[in-house]
């Protein structure tokens, strides 16, 4: 286990109760198609860790000691450029995993991950997982599928950055937060602060403010972290979000 | 085989000579660590196809019938957004593969690929490759490693789009074309047209012209597709390119 992945007891609480671990594995989307026998084998090499806000789970350049899957809370992944600046690559929400491609390929991590709120995670021991992969074909299928979905999410983000304005990207993001895709108005709360939102969207904070101002004419009302979308159909026509991922990649 | 992958004889020439196919597999970076026995098994399910400029090799949404690896020439991959516009995701040069993650996961392709010059490719039959994957562990290792490298390239591109200005992105791209990393001056030829270069960098053509103008002060001289870098050290200080990938992901 590398230095940054050593668990500091002040910031981390571990749960190893096998029933709890098994139940958490079972409700993880990544493992939805696995039968109980494979889940039981995974449970033996897994534990649940709870971390405080700002805890660094792993750092770019390290070999992966664990596969992390978010149960509750949120992580921000980031990568550092040669000049020392770093970009937020993605915000990982419950169900998402960190660093699967490099773990499977036994390469160092391309990104760092930090908890942006208190979070609970499944931590699956990397060596044990690689040993299981050699024996359980349904596990390989599940992991390769997750990898392809992560790959596709990055392809979408590249397209998003190349094709959409900041205001359109913000509009797509706000629409993605709307729980009811059929309603025409909704009140939401931003799940993280505007500084991180600007970094995730790839703009400066002043550009994010301008983007919120541009969306006001489309019925987007903001009060701090509270956002009301008054006319979802109009916002959708403007931002043109991608179809949600349904495993069909149409 | 899906409709778009049906080979139109007017645009495609096939070579199935087993010695030629085997030699091409052997010099492909993706397969550099495989022994002759595995290469021979791959050769049986592979052929070489030569396609004309603008030939569409595969389309977003289709299931992969083949894994394509570029031997000569170049492909542009692109993805379409909900509004019908499409973004160039990457230009694939010799050694690069198309659509490995989704092929391994048996999901539809997230991108389309078009030959941007006359190209020669290895075409490896998907079903045969998946059958080999179940039997040859060294092949699995090679494919997972390639997948992780592709994933990392996309992470870098996301960071590039979020952190660098268009002029810096152009500077990084020109530096990547320089064959001698120790020289301080070099004459290059752009390997594809400026319209595609703008699309790959994620900017409008007028912004690409402005970026070339901004780099003039840093010793970048252009005459159509010919480019002279007069002061590589200075350009490097300005554009701050990422370290080249050496498999260590430092």
pLDDT beyond 60 at B66? yes
* CB contacts, 8 Å: A148 with chain B: 101-102, 104-105, 107, 110
DSSP 8-class letter at A134? T
Candidates B101, B109, B148; nearest CB to A102 = B148
- Per-residue pLDDT of B31-54, as tens digits, reads 888 889 999 999 999 999 999 999
* CB contacts, 8 Å: A88 with chain B: 162
DSSP 8-class letter at B30? G
Confidence of residue B114 (pLDDT cuts 50, 70, 90): very high
Longest dimension (CA), chain A: 57
The answer to whether the beta carbons of residues A241 and A176 sit under 8 Å apart is yes
> Exposure string (b/e) for B151-184, b if CB count within 10 Å is 16 or more?
bbebbbbbbbbbbbebbbbbbbbbbeebeeeeee
- Per-residue pLDDT of B77-104, as tens digits, reads 998 876 677 888 888 889 999 988 888 8
pLDDT of residue B13: 82
In percent, the amount of chain A with pLDDT more than 70 equals 92
* CB contacts, 8 Å: B248 with chain A: 108
A148 and B101: CB-CB below 8 Å?
yes
Candidates A82, A151, A250; nearest CB to B241 = A82
* Burial classification of residue A22, based on how many CB atoms lie within 10 Å of its CB (0-12 exposed, 13-18 middle, 19 or more buried): middle
pLDDT of residue A83: 67
Residue B163 CA to residue A80 CA, distance in Å, equals 10
* CB contacts, 8 Å: B108 with chain A: 248-250
- Per-residue pLDDT of B14-28, as tens digits, reads 888 899 999 999 999
Q: Is A204 helix (H, G, I), strand (E, B) or coil?
A: coil
- Per-residue pLDDT of B193-242, as tens digits, reads 888 889 888 888 899 999 999 999 999 999 988 999 999 999 999 998 87
- Per-residue pLDDT of A185-204, as tens digits, reads 999 998 888 888 898 888 88
Q: CA of B145 to nearest chain A CA: how many angstroms apart?
A: 5
> What residue of B is the nearest CA neighbor of A159?
B87
Q: CA of A240 to nearest chain B CA: how many angstroms apart?
A: 6
Strand duo A226-229 + A186-189: pairing: antiparallel
* A216 token code pair: 């006001």
Confidence of residue A8 (pLDDT cuts 50, 70, 90): low
pTM here? 0.77
- Cα dihedral angle (B198, B201, B206, B210), rounded to 10 degrees? -130
pLDDT of residue A216: 96
What is the rounded average pLDDT of the residues A95-112?
88
pLDDT averaged over every residue in chain A:
86
- Per-residue pLDDT of A22-71, as tens digits, reads 999 999 988 888 889 999 999 999 999 999 999 999 999 999 999 999 99
A101 and B155: CB-CB below 8 Å?
no
The answer to whether the beta carbons of residues B140 and A105 sit under 8 Å apart is no
pLDDT of residue A211: 96
pLDDT beyond 80 at A235? yes
Residue B189 CA to residue B170 CA, distance in Å, equals 14
* CB contacts, 8 Å: A108 with chain B: 248-250
Helix (H) or strand (E) holding B41: helix B36-44
pLDDT beyond 80 at A124? yes
pLDDT beyond 50 at A157? yes
């Amino acid at each position: 286990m590398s230095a940054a992945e050593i668990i500091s007891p002040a910031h981390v609480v571990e749960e190893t109760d096998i029933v709890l671990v098994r139940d958490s594995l079972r409700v993880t989307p990544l493992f939805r198609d696995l039968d109980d026998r494979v889940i039981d084998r995974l449970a033996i090499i897994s534990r649940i860790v709870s971390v405080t806000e700002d805890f660094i789970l792993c750092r770019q350049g390290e070999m992966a000691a664990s596969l992390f899957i978010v149960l509750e809370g949120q992580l921000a992944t980031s990568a550092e450029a040669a000049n020392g600046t770093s970009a937020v690559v993605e915000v990982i929400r419950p169900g998402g995993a960190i660093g699967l491609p490099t773990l499977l390929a036994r390469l160092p991590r391309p990104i760092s991950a930090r908890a942006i709120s208190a979070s609970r995670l499944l931590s699956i021991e990397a060596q044990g997982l690689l040993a299981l992969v050699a024996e359980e074909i349904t596990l390989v299928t599940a992991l390769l599928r997750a990898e392809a979905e992560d790959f596709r999410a990055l392809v979408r983000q590249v397209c998003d950055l190349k094709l959409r304005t900041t205001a359109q990207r913000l509009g797509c993001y706000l629409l993605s937060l709307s729980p009811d895709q059929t309603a025409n108005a909704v009140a939401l709360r931003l799940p993280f602060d505007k500084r991180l939102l600007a970094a995730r969207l790839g703009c400066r904070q002043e550009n994010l403010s301008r983007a919120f101002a541009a969306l006001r004419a489309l019925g987007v009302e903001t009060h701090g972290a509270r956002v009301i979308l008054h006319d979802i159909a109009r916002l959708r026509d403007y931002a043109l979000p991608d179809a949600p991922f349904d495993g069909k990649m149409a």
